[in-house]
């Protein structure tokens, strides 16, 4: 695992993000967000070029000019995802293949192998320019159970590490000691102590500040509700001042409680659903709406919530924020509830069981929720303007088939073309156009790599539940009256790339599936389907197979061409 001090690591990003949100909690949201990019045509850059040099030849000049201009501006501020954007670190990409079910996450190796550095970034680092800056100092405060503080050690030195940890105080145990020795600290909460004291790492003691403190904020780490005792200890630390030990925290009105959860109960923090309201209110300050919905489902699954509908009503605004922004105040909550319904299945719960409003949004609508209609329309217009005459003809034919209900309109098409002729561009134009009209389209491909080239694409096996072991009578493992089936029924168009790479038995299975779902005996159930690919790249031959098997594969072409039109 990488240290949180390592710039660009996931822990570093999370620490910086949480620090920034701690400032928001104390001072409120920022009023202005500025982004600052470098223009290589700045005269300061061009004036430094010598001879035939171009700006891209001198990253050392570019980063110095950028750094000087940056210092003249206000610091960058934002909230939630903007803070994550600011602290996200360098670009990284890595691929690893591992056996199904195996869990092998090496964060250090991922950091080393995934990182790639451009020339300007390399020069920025070599010159030791700041990667980020905060106007306030955020002090991280430990939250740990008795004798359970984190210990860092090297293999073979576990005993020494434990001995050293026993001698060193944490910010929490040192706070206990401060309260023992200084009665004036009894009115200062644990989270506020950094404003009045400095933690001396050499002696591991809190010492009173001689000056400053106005720009210092204390922050307790986020603790999952699944880490039950730490979760409730954190809740007590946020509210109880002057504690001199863990036992003191556990003692409420003279009663020594067994657990921190019991202490919260005696302290009155768990009356009704107040703890869950507090948890969602706090999380709403730094979590995205999607993460809040995950927390809401987790609370319903693991917590003892007395009034789930009231919990939903009280926090509906923050839980629906993204969907309301994308759609409207009327329809946004429906999308949020549908998303929560999906999350609740992991806990064997449903909206109905929790007495929440039930919604009937089909999977196709949820799938479409990932696309913004206005944005899709803009992309469709842009793509359409770039089509050549042949591509435009294909798009017009397919759109006519999608929106023309005439009985004699062909519904099955095959787009043939060698590599580089723009088949994927045609697919993308169709996807953006149909989604821009508020309708559904399902892009699939025969391979995972090809599916990644289609916006929102998935493998055909994933969408249609095609079995791995195929024969001439195979059927898809997709049941009617499910959300997946509804998605297929609602879609206006199915785009299937790299179709020649798919065995004829797979098409037979999908053909049966769509006919069963639509109750229509036309090819593919009368759905408009665009198959595409290049037969030049796939010969219909299987080595060392019997004549019967070869005949089945060779009949793929006749099977397809008997059912489809070639635009």
State the Cα–Cα distance between residues 178 and 160, nearest whole angstrom.
27
Q: Are residues 187 and 143 in the same domain?
A: yes
Domain identity same for 36 and 85: yes
- Burial (CB count <10 Å: 0-12, 13-18, 19+), residue 101: exposed
Rounded-to-integer distance, Cα 134 and Cα 298, Å = 33
* Residues 301 and 195 reside in one and the same domain: no
Among 70-74, 406-410, 484-488, top mean pLDDT goes to: 484-488
79 and 145 within one domain: no
Q: Which of 250-259, 364-373, 491-500, 552-561 has the lowest mean pLDDT?
A: 552-561
Q: Are residues 28 and 117 in the same domain?
A: yes
- Condensed to tens digits (0 to 9), the pLDDT of residues 223-278 reads 888 888 998 999 899 888 899 999 999 998 888 999 999 998 888 888 778 888 98
Check: CB of residue 194 under 8 Å from CB of residue 141: yes
In a domain, 478, yes or no: yes
Is pTM beyond 0.95 here?
Answer: no
SS3 148: coil
- pLDDT tier for residue 164 given thresholds of 50, 70 and 90: confident
- pLDDT tops 80 at residue 109: no
Instruction: Say whether both 86 and 51 belong to one domain.
Output: yes
Same domain (yes/no): 327, 428:
no
Render pLDDT for 77-86 as a digit per residue (tens, 0 to 9).
334 544 555 5
Which residue's entry shows tokens 């299975």?
A: 509
What are the tens digits of pLDDT across the range 502-518? 888 888 899 999 999 98
Query: Of how many residues is the chain composed?
Result: 567
- By CB neighbour count within 10 A (0-12 exposed, 13-18 middle, 19+ buried), where does 223 fall? middle
- Higher pLDDT pick, 481 / 81: 481
List C-alpha distances in Å: 14 to 29, 33, 109: 19, 20, 19
Q: Does the residue 559 lie in any domain?
A: yes
Find the range with the poorest average confidence among 200-209, 276-285, 359-368, 502-511: 359-368
Least confident of 104-113, 187-196, 544-553: 544-553
Q: Is the same domain home to 30 and 131?
A: yes
CB-count exposure of residue 274 (10 Å: 0-12, 13-18, 19+): exposed
Same domain, 81 and 228: no
For residue 144, pLDDT over 90 is answered with yes
- Find the domain containing 327 and state its range: 274-354
| 258 shares its domain with 145 | yes
The three state secondary structure string of 226-280 is CCHHHHHHHHHHCCCCCCCCHHHHHEECCEECCCHHHHHHHHCCCCCCHHHHHHH
- Return the ∠ at Cα 461 (arms to 529 and 400), rounded to 5°: 10
**What gap in Å lies between CA 432 and CA 378, rounded to an integer?**
8
Is residue 501 within 8 Å of residue 553, measured between CB atoms? no
Same domain, 154 and 283: no
């Amino acid at each position: 695992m990488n240290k949180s001090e390592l710039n660009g690591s996931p822990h570093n990003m999370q620490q910086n993000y949480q620090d920034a949100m701690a400032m928001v909690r104390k001072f409120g949201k920022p009023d202005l967000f500025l982004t600052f990019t470098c223009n290589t045509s700045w005269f300061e850059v061009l004036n430094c070029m010598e001879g035939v040099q171009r700006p891209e030849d001198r990253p050392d000049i570019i980063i110095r000019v950028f750094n000087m201009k940056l210092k003249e501006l206000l610091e960058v501020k934002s909230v939630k995802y903007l803070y994550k954007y600011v602290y996200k670190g360098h670009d990284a990409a890595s691929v690893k293949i591992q056996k199904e079910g195996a869990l092998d996450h090496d964060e250090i190796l991922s950091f080393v192998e995934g990182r790639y550095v451009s020339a300007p970034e390399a020069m920025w680092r070599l010159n030791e320019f700041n990667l980020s800056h905060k106007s306030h100092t955020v002090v991280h405060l430990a939250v740990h159970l008795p004798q359970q503080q984190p210990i860092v050690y090297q293999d073979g030195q576990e005993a020494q590490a434990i001995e050293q940890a026993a001698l060193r105080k944490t910010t929490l145990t040192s706070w206990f000691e401060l309260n023992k020795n200084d009665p004036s600290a009894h009115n200062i909460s644990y989270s506020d102590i950094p404003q009045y004291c400095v933690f001396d790492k050499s002696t591991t003691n809190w010492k009173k500040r001689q000056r400053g403190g106005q720009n210092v904020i204390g922050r307790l780490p986020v603790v999952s509700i699944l880490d039950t005792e730490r979760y409730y200890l954190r809740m007590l630390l946020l509210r109880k001042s002057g504690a001199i030990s863990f036992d003191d925290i556990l003692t409420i009105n003279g009663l020594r409680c067994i657990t921190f959860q019991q202490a919260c109960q005696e302290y009155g923090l768990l009356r009704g659903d107040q703890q869950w309201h507090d948890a969602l209110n706090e999380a709403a300050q730094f979590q995205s709406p999607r993460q809040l919905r995950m927390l809401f489902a987790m609370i319903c699954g693991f917590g003892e919530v007395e009034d789930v509908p009231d919990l939903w009503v009280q926090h509906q605004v923050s839980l629906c924020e993204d969907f309301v922004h994308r759609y409207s105040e009327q329809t946004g909550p429906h999308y949020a509830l549908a998303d929560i319904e999906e999350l609740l299945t992991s806990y064997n719960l449903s909206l109905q069981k929790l007495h929440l409003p039930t919604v009937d949004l089909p999977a196709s609508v949820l799938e479409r929720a990932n696309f913004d209609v206005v944005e899709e329309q803009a992309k469709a217009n842009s793509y359409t303007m770039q089509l050549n005459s042949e591509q435009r003809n294909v798009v017009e034919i397919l759109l006519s088939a999608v929106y023309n209900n005439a009985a004699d309109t062909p519904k099955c098409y095959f787009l043939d073309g060698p590599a580089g002729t723009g088949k994927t561009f045609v697919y993308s134009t169709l996807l953006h156009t149909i989604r821009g009209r508020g309708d559904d389209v399902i892009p699939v491909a025969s391979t995972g790599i090809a599916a990644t080239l289609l916006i929102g694409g998935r493998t055909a096996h994933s969408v249609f539940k095609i079995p791995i072991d195929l024969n001439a009578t195979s059927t898809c493992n997709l049941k009617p009256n499910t959300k997946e089936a509804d998605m297929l029924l609602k879609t206006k168009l199915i785009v299937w790339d790299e179709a020649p790479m798919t065995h004829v038995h797979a098409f037979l299975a999908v053909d049966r599936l769509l006919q069963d779902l639509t109750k229509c005996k036309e090819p593919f159930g009368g759905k408009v389907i665009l198959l595409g690919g290049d037969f030049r790249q796939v010969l219909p031959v299987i080595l060392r197979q019997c004549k019967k098997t070869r005949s089945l594969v060779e009949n793929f072409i006749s099977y397809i061409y008997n059912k489809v039109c070639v635009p």
